[in-house]
Amino acid sequence: MLQLSLSWLGLGPVSASPWLLLQLVGATWLLCRVLSWMHAFYDNCCRLRCFPQPPKRNWFWGHLDLVSVGNRMGPGAGGGWTS
């Protein structure tokens, strides 16, 4: 077996088994994937900053104000929606 010196980790000489090398490759691949996802998310956020802020009230809340709670008349019950 190969001898891999990991003294800088405080582990001393350890035999580099295929399982250990596979774990190292897997952890490196996972770290690269997470970092690339974070960079893509950051890049997307930077691109979206050039747009103005959305309005404070969206269309759904605006439409809720058109009909009062006490007066719910439909289109056929009196000539249209009333507020």
Domain residue extents for the chain: 24-48
Asked whether the predicted pLDDT for residue 27 surpasses 90, the reply is: yes
Nearest partner of 32 among 44, 40, 43, judged by Cα: 40
Q: What is the pLDDT of residue 7?
A: 65
C-alpha–C-alpha distance, residues 83 and 58, integer Å: 19
CB atoms near residue 19 (< 10 Å): 8
Residues 65, 67, 69, 71, CA torsion sign = positive
Residue 22 pLDDT class (50, 70, 90 cuts): very high
Q: What is the pLDDT of residue 34?
A: 98
Element (DSSP H or E) covering residue 79: none
pLDDT, one tens digit per residue, over 45-65 is: 999 888 887 656 656 766 666
Nearest partner of 13 among 21, 22, 3, 23, judged by Cα: 3
